[in-house]
Structure 1
Amino acid sequence: MTKYGKALSVTETTIPGLVVFDLPVHGDARGWFKENWQREKMTALGLPDFGPVQNNISFNDAVGTTRGIHAEPWDKWVSVATGRIFGAWVDLREGPSFGAVYTTELDPSKAIFVPRGVGNSYQTLEPDTAYTYLVNDHWSPDASYSFLNLADETAAIAWPIPLDEVEISPKDLAHPRLADVTPIPPKKILVVGANGQLGRALRAEYGDASHIEYADRSSLDLATPGWEQSRRWRDYGTIINAAAYTKVDLAETADGRRDAWAANVTGVATLARIAAENGITLVHVSSDYVFDGTSDLPYREDDPICPLGVYGQTKAAGDAIVATVPRHYIVRTSWVIGEGNNFVRTMASLAERGIDPKVVDDQIGRLTFTEDIARGIRHLLDTGAAYGVYNLTGTGEPQTWADIARHVFKLNGHEPARITGVSTDQYYASATSPVAPRPRNSILDLTKIEANAFAPTDSVTRLAHYLQA
């Protein structure tokens, strides 16, 4: 019998992410009314904002009708419209909770949120029972499903009505035992730009896990029209955009400006649309170049942007687009050093070859190593940090490029005094091709990401390790 007057509340279960809701049902002599799903109230109690796209109803006219244990690659919100059911849920996802079982009865005053990959089965306890379920994906023959036999001995579900006395389809009777079940893998993580400096660091961070997909420019080029049709995006939970046009000086030319906007804005806009339409978390890497560098203080995440050149303008535009995605992380960084050719490698080479370079000494910031950016991105995702913008650089005393060059010389056993500091204007005075304006202050405030329990690495310490590798 339906219970009236309960407060809206949540009960956790033995299966991670599977939660039971008590629903207020208001009844009188005419019947009853309830809010079956109310986004604002239920997300406030911790229900994921799962974005349902379809509402289904299952009607069962006889007591004991039993539906097989099916695990689908989408989330479900299940509730009873009339009658009463016994429900059994078995975790069929990859991971430590695989095989965990939870059972309960549902009537119109209860509902349950079933996360993707958790198998669900229902047995009717009253005639003319109907239950409804909201799902956040459309059925597809290309999706990955998993099934478990209703009589599996490991799950050992205590069905109220014995299975040999109820109506079950032949197909459900033929499902495999738990030992033969194919687990539902996690939603995929797609790393775009996987062969770049940051992409290679993300490969090292995530390794060869089956749900991680790496796409380099040959397989996914954000500047090539039509690439968005290449995947079933509902199978993805996260996109990490490590691709970007970063040739800051070339971006000041006609061809470079076109290419920079294509990769950093047009391609990013398509990623953002895909993420928003499919409930995907989008991680986007930004730059100190969105600021003009005139501040006397480290730049905070909420400081007004004011890019100086084309590259900075495209990054700022990309940031603004990504910020419209409901689930997004914008990771703003500076002075990036990773695998491949870069400032540090160049200085080390000049030191070894006996060349005494002139290096800019009126720009100030901190080195950021791609290993730390990859580690920070994974931390934000794994901890479920609040969506938004996060500064992420190395820590320690800010330095000029000339300071860093001297430190590279010293660490490699060469005389730091061989470095001559010059102003930015002096350094580029003889340039014959366009030069992008640089922010003089590239120091980013790290308070926000440190408050989220991430500890960036001291840039000087990381530099020493980098040169020893």
Structure 2
Amino acid sequence: MTEFGKPLRATETRIPGLVLWDLTVHGDSRGWFKENWQRERMIAAGLPDFGPVQNNISFNDAIGTTRGIHAEPWDKWVSITTGRIFGAWVDLREGTTFGTVFTAELDPSRAVFVPRGVGNAYQTLEPDTAYTYLVNDHWSPDAKYTFLNLADETLAIEWPIPLERAEISEKDLGHPRLADVVPVPPRKILVTGANGQLGRALRAEFGDGRHVEFAARDDLDLASSDLVTARRWRDYDTIVNAAAYTAVDLAETPEGRRDAWAANVGGVAALARVAAENGIALVHVSSDYVFDGKLDRPYREDDPVSPLGVYGQTKAAADAVVSTVPRHYIVRTSWVVGEGKNFVRTMAGLAARGIDPRVVDDQVGRLTFTSEIARGIRHLLDTRPDYGVYNLTGGGEAMTWADVARAVFELAGHDPARVSPVSTTEYYASAEGPVAPRPSRGVLDLAKIEATGFVPTDAGETLRDYLASEER
């Protein structure tokens, strides 16, 4: 019999993410009423904001109707409209809890949240039972399901009505035993811009993880109107956007301005739409160029943006777009060094050729190697702290570009005094093309990401290791 008046309450189970919920049912002589799904209250109570898009009802005439253990590629909110069931859930996801079983009875006053990859089965305990479930993806013939036999001996589920007396389909009777089930892999991570400097560092960080996909520009066109159908997006948990227009000075030209806005804002907006519509976490890499560099302290994540040039404007605009995605990480960094042409490699080459450079000494920041950005992104995805903006740069003391150049000379075995300091104005005085304004101070406060357990590597140590690897 349905219990009236219970408060809304969640109860964790031994299967991670599978949560039983007591629902408040109001009843009298006329019948009863309940809020079967109330997004605001339930999210406040701890239910994931799983974004249901379809509501299904399975009506069962007789006691003992038994429906098989199916793990589907979506999350489910299961409740009972009339009647009562015995439910059995089995974790069929990759990991240490594979094969874990949980059982419970459900009636109209009790519901359960079933995460993707957890097998779900039930047996009716009363006639005319209506089993209702919300799912966060539309049914598709292309969706991949995982099945498990109801009578698997290793699970030893104690069905109230023995299976030989229950009403079961031939299909459910023929499903494989646990030993033959291929575990459900985690939702995938997609890295865009996979052939760029950061993309290559992310390849090295994630290695050959089979749930990680890498897409270069030719593999995924962010400007295409077909982007929304380019993948079965509900199979993805996270998009890491490593694609960006970074030609800071060229962005000040008419053509460069168009290209920068198209790549850094148009492309990001398209990904943000895909992410928001499909419950995907979006990782976006931002820049210290969103600030004007006038603060005499390190910039915090909540400081207002004030970009000086086109590149900074496009990055600030993209930050605003990404912040509208419910699940997002904006990773703000500075002075990026990766594979290919970069400042460190240029200085090392000048030192080796006997050329004494003039280097800017009135811009202050921290070097950030792409390997450090990749490591930080991996940390955020592994630990899943609160969504939002996180500063991520190399650690250690702030330096000027001239300081960095001297460090490169010294580490390469050359006299650092060969580097001559010069102001930004003097350095660009003879430039032939447009020059983008630079923030004079791009030092970012790292306290927020450090509070998540991430320890930034000292940029000086990474610089030494980088130059050592270049010599090999």
TM-score range, shorter chain: over 0.9
Alignment check: 8 A CA contact 2:194 2:214 kept: yes
Structure 1 residue 326: Cα displacement: 0.9
* RMSD of aligned Cα (Å): 1.1
Alignment check: 8 A CA contact 1:144 1:184 kept: no
**What's 1:462 paired with?**
462
1:436 and 2:436 correspond: yes
Q: Distance in 2 between matches of 1:157 and 1:64?
A: 15
Deviates more, 1:434-443 or 1:5-14: 5-14
**What's 1:252 paired with?**
252
* SS of residue matched to 1:386: coil
Structure 1 residue 225: Cα displacement: 4.9
Distance 1:228 1:81, change over 3 A: closer
Q: Distance in 1 between matches of 2:164 and 2:261?
A: 65
Give 2:202's aligned amino acid: L
Give 2:11's aligned amino acid: T
Give 1:132's aligned amino acid: T
**What's 1:211 paired with?**
211
**What's 1:145 paired with?**
145
Say how many residue pairs are matched: 469
**What's 1:13 paired with?**
13
* SS of residue matched to 1:317: helix
**What's 2:350 paired with?**
350
Give 1:91's aligned amino acid: D
Q: Distance in 2 between matches of 1:224 and 1:74?
A: 27
Aligned 1:22-171 pairs, distance under 5 A: 22-171=22-171
1:371 and 2:371 correspond: yes
Q: Distance in 2 between matches of 1:43 and 1:52?
A: 13
**What's 1:305 paired with?**
305
Q: Distance in 1 between matches of 2:258 and 2:39?
A: 42
Give 2:375's aligned amino acid: R
Structure 1 residue 40: Cα displacement: 2.0
Alignment check: 8 A CA contact 1:73 1:117 kept: yes
Q: Distance in 2 between matches of 1:90 and 1:297?
A: 53
Structure 1 residue 229: Cα displacement: 2.9
Structure 1 residue 431: Cα displacement: 0.8
- Residues 66-99 of structure 1: CA deviation (Å, up to 9, x unaligned): 0011110000000111111000001111111111
Give 1:124's aligned amino acid: T
Structure 1 residue 422: Cα displacement: 0.4
Give 2:343's aligned amino acid: F
Structure 1 residue 311: Cα displacement: 0.8
Structure 1 residue 221: Cα displacement: 3.3
Structure 1 residue 198: Cα displacement: 1.0
Q: Distance in 2 between matches of 1:248 and 1:31?
A: 68
Q: Distance in 2 between matches of 1:221 and 1:418?
A: 46
Deviates more, 1:181-190 or 1:63-72: 181-190
Give 1:67's aligned amino acid: R
Q: Distance in 2 between matches of 1:82 and 1:320?
A: 46
**What's 2:449 paired with?**
449
Distance 1:264 1:271, change over 3 A: same
- Residues 124-156 of structure 1: CA deviation (Å, up to 9, x unaligned): 001111111110000111111110011111221
Structure 1 residue 174: Cα displacement: 1.1
* SS of residue matched to 2:67: coil
* SS of residue matched to 1:67: strand
* SS of residue matched to 1:408: helix
Distance 1:3 1:227, change over 3 A: closer
- Residues 386-440 of structure 1: CA deviation (Å, up to 9, x unaligned): 1111111112111000000000111111100000010111111111111111111
**What's 2:176 paired with?**
176
Q: Distance in 2 between matches of 1:5 and 1:16?
A: 28
* SS of residue matched to 1:220: coil
Q: Distance in 1 between matches of 2:229 and 2:60?
A: 39
**What's 1:407 paired with?**
407
Q: Distance in 2 between matches of 1:333 and 1:160?
A: 58
Q: Distance in 1 between matches of 2:229 and 2:430?
A: 47
Give 2:431's aligned amino acid: A
1:281 and 2:275 correspond: no
**What's 2:381 paired with?**
381
Aligned 1:287-298 pairs, distance under 5 A: 287-298=287-298
Q: Distance in 2 between matches of 1:226 and 1:58?
A: 35
Alignment check: 8 A CA contact 1:282 1:329 kept: yes
Alignment check: 8 A CA contact 2:223 2:270 kept: no
Alignment check: 8 A CA contact 2:53 2:138 kept: yes
Give 2:160's aligned amino acid: P
**TM-score computed with the length of structure 2 as normaliser:** 0.98
For structure 2, the 5+ residue unaligned runs are none
Q: Distance in 1 between matches of 2:395 and 2:359?
A: 22
* SS of residue matched to 1:104: strand
Give 2:295's aligned amino acid: S
Q: Distance in 1 between matches of 2:228 and 2:58?
A: 35
Give 2:92's aligned amino acid: L
Give 2:328's aligned amino acid: H
* SS of residue matched to 2:127: coil
Alignment check: 8 A CA contact 2:347 2:405 kept: yes
Q: Distance in 2 between matches of 1:221 and 1:286?
A: 21
**What's 2:359 paired with?**
359
Q: Distance in 2 between matches of 1:185 and 1:35?
A: 34
**TM-score computed with the length of structure 1 as normaliser:** 0.98
Deviates more, 1:388-397 or 1:1-10: 1-10
Give 1:368's aligned amino acid: T
Structure 1 runs (4+) deviating above 2 angstroms are: 221-229
Q: Distance in 2 between matches of 1:140 and 1:382?
A: 30
Alignment check: 8 A CA contact 1:322 1:330 kept: yes
Structure 1 residue 163: Cα displacement: 0.7
Alignment check: 8 A CA contact 2:148 2:177 kept: yes
